[in-house]
Amino acid sequence: MAIPTLQLPSPITQIFSPLLDAQRLQLFIKRDDLIHPLISGNKWRKLKYNLQQAKKEQQSCLLTFGGAWSNHIHATAAAGNYFGFNTIGIIRGESPPTLSATLQDAQDWGMQLHFVNREQYRHKTEADFIAGLRQQFGNFYLIPEGGSNTLAMQGCAEIIDELTEPYDVLCVDCGTGTTLAGVICGNKDQTQVLGFSVLKGGDFLSPQVQSMLDKTHRHYHNWQINNDYHFGGYAKTTPALFEFIKTFKRDHGVQLEPVYSGKMFYGIFDLIKKGYFKQGSRILALHGGGLQGLRGYNLD
């Protein structure tokens, strides 16, 4: 594959609805889903400086972790192919009889898939486990699950650099919270940053984001994480969520997915109905891409 053309800065789409008008709110979407069809959304932003660092270290192989529908595995495999790295994916769970569409793409782009059971997978950040991987696969540049490290945060902070208009609230959907941490770092303090956790029992997430922020040795305020819209937990869904995603596409022409962006936008609209946002606010929500994962769901 040739070096990809990336749509950066990513465009911004305004959403119109009577509900927004009634509260004099303006809602905009930062379309990171349009950055690239294969290296999508925040996964590109998280990979960018990691790819540069790997080149600098003269590493020829990237190794990373994820599940069968992982957007990060998908993006890393595509990026490796484009930018000339071998890639190894350590995949959570036993090897299935047929690969998910995500893993099939990754394999087609040259990623070597290595399945580990859930118990082993839990050790993925431990030094012994990683030493074992180095014994098995030789030298590699390690990217953590979800692409989440300090270089990834740095890439995500650039979302803010791309903004040319002021906003009162920035909304970010959160898995590991790395994208949120990056946005907080790049943020100017008068803007409120609101994360939406897609995990159940997300109370661990604020301290996790705080410890990422602590690494920058600066202080940040004016950010929170909302834990009310996880819909039962990671990748769990409800009929109401699918209905919302379908209606959103019909009314606004923007495709969401049920793991991240669907939950956040559902949450944003619910909070609007509850009068959470100050009248007159300009809200910017980040669409982090991940639409390849839709193939794991039957949307009709």
Ligand X SMILES: *Cc1c(COP(=O)(O)O)cnc(C)c1O
Contact residues: ligand X, CB under 6 A:
41-43, 71-72, 146, 148, 173-180, 260-261, 288-290
Tell the smallest beta-carbon distance from residue 281 to ligand X (Å).
23
Q: 221 and 251 in contact (C-beta within 8 Å)?
A: no
Smaller CB distance to ligand X: residue 109 or 173? Answer: 173
Tell the smallest beta-carbon distance from residue 278 to ligand X (Å).
26
**Closest residue to ligand X, Cβ-based?**
290
Euclidean distance between CA atoms 237 and 139, whole angstroms: 39
Smaller CB distance to ligand X: residue 81 or 178? Answer: 178
Euclidean distance between CA atoms 236 and 298, whole angstroms: 14
Neighbours of 184 (CB within 10 A): 29
Euclidean distance between CA atoms 80 and 262, whole angstroms: 28
Smaller CB distance to ligand X: residue 180 or 283? Answer: 180
Sequence-ordered strand ranges (E) for the chain: 12-15, 26-31, 61-66, 86-92, 112-116, 141-142, 169-174, 192-197, 223-226, 282-287
Smaller CB distance to ligand X: residue 201 or 280? Answer: 201
Smaller CB distance to ligand X: residue 7 or 23? Answer: 7
Tell the smallest beta-carbon distance from residue 280 to ligand X (Å).
28
Smaller CB distance to ligand X: residue 149 or 191? Answer: 149
Euclidean distance between CA atoms 101 and 210, whole angstroms: 35
Name residue 95's beta-bridge partners: none
Q: 287 and 257 in contact (C-beta within 8 Å)?
A: no
Q: What are phi and psi of 194, to 5 degrees?
A: -120, 115
Tell the smallest beta-carbon distance from residue 300 to ligand X (Å).
21
Q: What is the DSSP letter of 149?
A: S
Tell the smallest beta-carbon distance from residue 288 to ligand X (Å).
3
Tell the smallest beta-carbon distance from residue 43 to ligand X (Å).
6
